[in-house]
């Protein structure tokens, strides 16, 4: 009777072992997937765009004024914008990072504005991406000044990591004193359209 019990116990142990091994094998891919979607997932990205802005205060009576007073709307010069940045996070969720922009006027007097921003990105399906950023712009010339910047945009990918982008940028620049205001503040709302590219850095 004791021998029968030992044989039965042996068969039971052999039956349990394959199930345990199968469960471990099945769990391994999910663990790898979890690692692949962790915080180590990174993107390098950049873009080239062209834009123009609407100035809500024109204390210096700059060109392309749309009204008769310093509070009238006016257009900024058209500009080219080059950007580059990096983000980290889940490939299917929010990604946090930083991006640098350099905007150069393509008409009128020479103007250059650089900025460094925190950026938050999120994919929409497989072919779209939305972003929001907040940063500090720095006017390099003609006269150095600074301010604050908020922006929101989207990209539609038409071929792998290459897409068409649109971004709405709100900027507040601090200007030199005028007779009416000391110092002056110049809010600008710009729209820029361009091409976006990104490269995935897998963990």
Q: What are the tens digits of pLDDT across the range 101-117?
A: 999 999 888 899 999 99
**Do 27 and 47 sit in the same domain of this protein?**
no
Question: Per residue in 9-60, pLDDT tens?
Answer: 444 434 433 433 343 344 333 323 333 444 568 999 999 999 999 988 766 5
DSSP codes joined into one string, 89-157: E-TTS-EEEEEEEEEEESSSS--EEEEEEEEEEEEETTTEEEEEEEEEEEEEESS-EEEEEEEEEEEEE
117 and 195 together in one domain: yes
pLDDT of residue 133: 98
* Partners of 97 in beta bridges: 87, 119
- Provide the domain count of the chain: 2
Q: What is the pLDDT of residue 104?
A: 97
CATH of the domain at 124: 2.40.160.20
Claim to verify: residue 118 and residue 164 sit in the same structural domain: yes
Average pLDDT over residues 140-154: 92
The label of the residue with tokens 């009576």 reads: 61
Contact 186, 172 (CB under 8 A): yes
Whether 32 and 103 share a structural domain = no
Task: Give the list of residues 6+ apart from residue 40 with CB closer than 8 angstroms, or none.
Answer: 88, 203
* pLDDT given at position 31: 26
The whole-angstrom separation of Cα 92 and Cα 37 is 8
pLDDT of 165: 98
Q: Are residues 55 and 108 in the same domain?
A: yes
pLDDT score of 179 more than 70: no
| pTM: predicted TM-score of the whole model, two decimal places | 0.73
Nearest CA to 79 out of 165, 190, 157, 200 is that of 190
Residue range 56-88, pLDDT digits in tens? 876 655 566 555 655 668 888 899 999 999 999
Identify the pLDDT of residue 201: 84
Are residues 58 and 157 both part of a single domain?
yes
| Residue of 177 and 173 predicted with greater confidence | 173
Question: Are 29 and 36 in contact, with CB atoms under 8 Å apart?
Answer: no
pLDDT at 92 over 50: yes
As a residue count, the chain comes to 203
**Which of 36-40, 144-148, 189-193 ranks highest by mean pLDDT?**
189-193
Q: Does residue 52 share a domain with residue 20?
A: no
Same domain, 2 and 100: no
pLDDT of residue 69: 56
Average pLDDT, the chain: 78
* Same domain, yes or no: 165 and 100: yes
Give the domain range for residue 30.
Answer: 1-36
């Amino acid at each position: 009777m004791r021998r029968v019990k030992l044989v039965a116990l042996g068969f039971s142990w052999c039956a349990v072992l394959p199930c345990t091994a199968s469960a471990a094998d099945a769990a391994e891919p999910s663990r790898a997937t979890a690692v692949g979607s962790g915080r180590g997932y990174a993107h390098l990205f950049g873009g080239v765009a062209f834009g123009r802005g609407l100035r809500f205060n024109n204390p210096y009576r700059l060109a392309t004024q749309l009204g008769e007073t310093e509070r009238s709307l006016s257009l900024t010069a058209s500009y080219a914008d080059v950007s580059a940045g990096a983000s980290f996070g889940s490939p299917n969720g929010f990604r946090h990072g930083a991006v640098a922009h350099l905007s150069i006027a393509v008409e009128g007097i020479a103007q250059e504005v650089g900025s460094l921003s925190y950026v938050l990105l999120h994919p929409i399906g497989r072919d779209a991406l939305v972003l929001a950023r907040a940063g500090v712009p720095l006017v390099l010339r003609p006269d150095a000044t600074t301010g604050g910047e908020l922006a929101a945009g989207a990209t539609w990918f038409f071929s792998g990591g290459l897409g068409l982008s649109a971004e709405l940028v709100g900027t507040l620049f601090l200007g030199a004193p005028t007779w009416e205001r000391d110092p002056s503040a110049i809010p600008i709302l710009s729209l820029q359209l361009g091409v976006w590219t990104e490269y995935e850095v897998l963990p």
